[in-house]
Structure 1
Amino acid sequence: MNAGLSVEELEARSKQERERREKDALRTKREQERVPLPEAAGTAAHATKTAADAKPASAAPSREEGPNGVKPLDAIVKLEMLMDKDAETIGKIWNQHHASKPGRLSALVPAETYRQMARRAREFPSFILPLPREQGAEFFWLQFSGHQCYFTSLAEYKLHGEQARPYLVLTHYPELIESKQIVLMRGELGDADGAKEGQSTLMTSEDARLLVYLLQDFYVTGSEAKQKLVEQFHREPATFKFEELMDAVNRLG
């Protein structure tokens, strides 16, 4: 881990990319707000179609799409059919829907857990997580963007920055956070749709599940020491030690 970019350089690059994405999102929003007016000779039907075709200003920018195209929640499940169900039943429906889909993960996140993670994600939008291997570990760079979290190989991120391939994209759907006190999570493994039998060529489902667990552990549910590592990565990058991160992961058992 001594080769390549330092923690300070990684954080600086991440900050630059966040600022660029924010500018792109603002530009996209402004463009979406410019709804073209129908021509004077046009009909009322033409005017209606023009307004219907225009994306609302709140629509997510294209950068928010995952490796296989992230669908809005109402394109995955009919929300009206869930409103009379309790959280446990909704969770079963959600997980059963994804169980037969290779390269997909799903989970039910308690509302307060997600609120805490979202708050910390805004303050600490990037981090590094290791997956233990037979020899050493493989490190992954994570980056929050809105209700999504992108994971990519740290080695690829050092080489390609934002152009690095997404190995895993998590999308959180907060539509039921007030009414049911839950958030639905959907995970998509990169390259799963294009690989044989839907299995990702970049990451196994087991590794993806471990990354999801580690994300929640270091950002919300883990010890104070683990959460301080996330803070140290951003606030005191010169003192951040990969060895301490590895020790924290190795003590999971």
Structure 2
Amino acid sequence: MLTMLNRHLLGKSLNKIQLNNSRLLITAHTQSTFTNNQVELGEDNVLKENPYYEIYKEKLHRLKQENLTAYKEKVDKLKAMKKPSVKVTNEEIGIKSQDSKTDSFKSIFKAKPARIVSQTNLVKQKMLIDVMNIELLQQKSITQISEIWIQYHKEKKDTPVLSAVIPYKNYKAFYVKSLEYPMFVLPLPRTNQGYEFMLVQFQHYDSEVKNCTAHLTPLIAYQKYNENAPECMSIEYFSDLVNENNIDNSIVLMRSFYDDKLLSSMEATCLVNQLRIFYEENNFKHETLLKLFNKGHSEFHYSDVIACVETLSI
């Protein structure tokens, strides 16, 4: 969910960047965003209001010509789809107690209230204390805390989620760069369909190195809905356990919720790793792309981002 604060800046940047680079491989449904004249007048208004309609419109058009029955089935499924939201419920976050390990999870991790994506701007800074009972971690080592964090999220079956533990010194470089370049686009490889670009925007709460959240939405969804575009993924970073007296051995906890209707676990992992590589690593070419995009420079080319990603091992 993109914040309204940067709507004008992002719109200006996107308008200044040339989108019709002939070298760029974009998915057929991405290209269909710019061909509104192909929309048939007889299509159902409810269907057209669905946030995923633009993504599947071209495929539906072809399917309608080839197999009317299959087309109707796909339309019914699309109508049933709702805007993606972070899949967190009001129920206690935890897994059924089967042994002492899972019992300890339930005591350490707290319930997290549900929220809809459109409320992102109204949410106060997220603190680790809202997620975990950090008092129970005071006597645990960094290794033990890392194991608890990773194992807990690994065993969750009800919510698509990824987790990781990041050395503080790496996160500091990541945070500082995300303050300077709060927006970017990440190319997601699609099988036999080229790439679909995901727009990422960081939400910071402080100029100092603190917690932050990265929100991702399909670029075509932003072009249609602006700051109301439904997010397909959010990545939360918690620096609450950083020890100022022992920075070198401090850690930052990361977790990412994603919509499994739009992203597979592998695709979500790919996006998290891309974000880390572009923002955490000291790479002149990557930082140049970040700068050109955020400045809305005409020399920014989407194909250059693809070229960088194709050389990565992620």
Same fold (TM over 0.5): yes
The 1:122/1:158 distance shift into structure 2, 3 A limit, reads: same
2:47 alignment counterpart: none
Matches within 5 A, 1:140-179: 140-146=198-204, 147-178=212-243
Task: In structure 2, give the amino acid aligned to 1:86.
Answer: S
Q: How much does 1:13 deviate?
A: 6.9
Q: How far apart, CA to CA, are the structure 2 residues paired with 1:211 and 1:65?
A: 25
Aligned-residue CA RMSD (Å): 2.5
Residue in 1 aligned with 2:254? 185
2:120 paired residue number = 63
Query: 2:274 matched to which residue of 1?
Result: 214
Give the residue type in structure 1 aligned to 2:234: V
> Is the 2:13–2:296 contact (alpha carbons within 8 Å) kept by the matching residues of 1?
no
Tell whether 2:307 aligns with 1:247.
Answer: yes
Name the count of aligned residue pairs.
188
Unaligned 5+ runs, structure 1 = 1-7, 15-61, 191-199
Partner of 2:175: 118
Q: Unaligned 5+ residue runs, structure 2?
A: 1-7, 15-118, 205-211
**Contact 1:64–1:148 (CA under 8 A) maintained in structure 2:** no
Instruction: Find out whether 1:106 has 2:163 as its counterpart.
Output: yes
Q: CA deviation at 1:70?
A: 9.6
TM-aligned CA deviation for residue 204 of structure 1: 1.3
Pairwise CA distance, 1:230: 0.8
1:106 maps to a residue whose letter is S
Counterpart in 2 of 1:33? none
Amino acid at match of 2:186: L
Matching residue of 1:88: 143
Asked which structure has the greater RCO (Cα within 8 Å, sep 6+), the reply is 2
Q: Corresponding residue for 1:232? A: 292
2: CA distance, partners of 1:110 / 1:65: 30
Using the alignment, how far apart are the partners of 2:139 and 2:297 within structure 1? Answer: 48
Give the partner amino acid of 1:136: G
Q: 1:145 to 1:239 in 2, by over 3 A?
A: same
Partner of 1:76: 131
Bigger Cα displacement from structure 2, 242-251 vs 86-95 = 86-95
CA contact (8 A) 2:12 2:296 kept: no
Report the residue type matching 2:185 in the other structure. I
- TM-score (norm. length: structure 1): 0.67
